[in-house]
Chains A and B, each alone.
Chain A
Amino acid sequence: MPTVKLFASLRKFAGTKELSIIGATVGGVLLELTRQNPLLGTAILDGGNLRPHVVITLNGRNVIDLNDSVNEQDVIAIFPPIAGGQGE
């Protein structure tokens, strides 16, 4: 299963640094992750969408499209919004 690594304040929501989460796309993994961890869900999602400035990388490359497919050995890293408020 793909690995999800959590950083900074997200760790306390999930109670852990690292999880194995099933999913075929980045979006799919996020859905399953937040289903298992509703608190984490509110931290990174707003409704069904990603909160602005949440940084998600897939094997170190920033994810722009949540439909990007994910393989077994892939690592998804999620950082909470540590970049500014609106715009500035």
Chain B
Amino acid sequence: MIDQRIYEMFREIGEDLYTAQMISSHGGNLSIRLGDRVIIKRRGAQLGRLKPHDLIETRLDKNDSGVALASTELLVHRAIYMNTPALAVCHCHPRIAVAFSLSRDELVPVDNEGSYLLKKIPVVTEEFASGTPQMANKVAEALKNYKVIMLRGHGSFATGQTLDEAFLWSSCLEESCQIELATKIINEPFIEYRGMSDSYKKF
């Protein structure tokens, strides 16, 4: 049985993701690495209302949970843990970020917090929505150098030492995108307030 505190952590962040409109009812996923094991949401469960039995624990390098958790989700998370120092992964579908990913190869926040914390978010493309080894490796590869990335038209993958951290990057990303969307609607000339601002896209 999963430790109560870990379940609480997943439940809280899952709930926050749903209320922040960063996932649909059954979309997105959260996982953490505990030593050489992984804890991840079961396929088909709702992140916004997680129950203790919705969390699966399995070995890092193969699925020994006894649950036929479709390897789609696990594959990507596993690839991330094998290829980066991540200890937590937050995957969600932040709407405005996804919209921007359709027309840009990288997202460069213009707001203060986004510039400060994220600087730049690369966009990678892989058509097959359900996890294939190609998609898993592409996502993991991009996460070697950035803590949050976009999969074009699909959603974001963020890593951290804790779920809290991974959620932070995801949330900051969507906030930045919403602010930028607002600037498009406001449609007035941008007054640059940041020093060395043209360097962000080179991060």
Main secondary structure of the interface of A (DSSP, over half): loop
Instruction: Kindly state the separation between the CA atoms of A86 and B116 in the bound complex, as whole angstroms.
Output: 9
A87: Cβ under 8 A from any B Cβ: yes
Hey, which chain B residues are within 8 Å of A87, CB to CB? 117, 165, 168-169
Q: Which residue of B lies closest to A85 (CB)?
A: B116
Q: How large is the interface on B (under 10, 10 to 19, 20 to 34, 35 or more residues)?
A: under 10
Interface residues in A63-88 (C-beta closer than 8 Å to B): 86-87
Size of interface on A: residues with Cβ below 8 Å to B: 2
Instruction: Kindly state the separation between the CA atoms of A86 and B169 in the bound complex, as whole angstroms.
Output: 11
Hey, which chain A residues are within 8 Å of B116, CB to CB? 86
Q: Mark B160-203, 1 if CB is under 8 A from A, else 0.
A: 00000100110000000000000000000000000000000000
Interface residues in B119-170 (C-beta closer than 8 Å to A): 165, 168-169
Instruction: Kindly state the separation between the CA atoms of A5 and B113 in the bound complex, as whole angstroms.
Output: 33
Hey, which chain A residues are within 8 Å of B169, CB to CB? 87
Instruction: Kindly state the separation between the CA atoms of A86 and B165 in the bound complex, as whole angstroms.
Output: 10
Hey, which chain A residues are within 8 Å of B113, CB to CB? 86
Hey, which chain A residues are within 8 Å of B168, CB to CB? 86-87
Smallest CB–CB gap between A53 and chain B, Å? 13
Smallest CB–CB gap between A31 and chain B, Å? 24
Instruction: Kindly state the separation between the CA atoms of A86 and B164 in the bound complex, as whole angstroms.
Output: 12
Smallest CB–CB gap between A28 and chain B, Å? 23
Instruction: Kindly state the separation between the CA atoms of A87 and B116 in the bound complex, as whole angstroms.
Output: 11
Q: Which residue of A lies closest to B168 (CB)?
A: A87
Instruction: Kindly state the separation between the CA atoms of A38 and B113 in the bound complex, as whole angstroms.
Output: 28
What is A's interface to B at a CB cutoff of 8 Å?
A: 86-87
In the assembled complex, 7 residue pairs joining A and B whose CB atoms fall closer than 8 Å, in A order, are A86-B113, A86-B116, A86-B168, A87-B117, A87-B165, A87-B168, A87-B169
Name the 8 nearest CB pairs between A and B, nearest first.
Answer: A86-B117, A87-B168, A87-B117, A87-B165, A86-B116, A87-B169, A86-B113, A86-B168
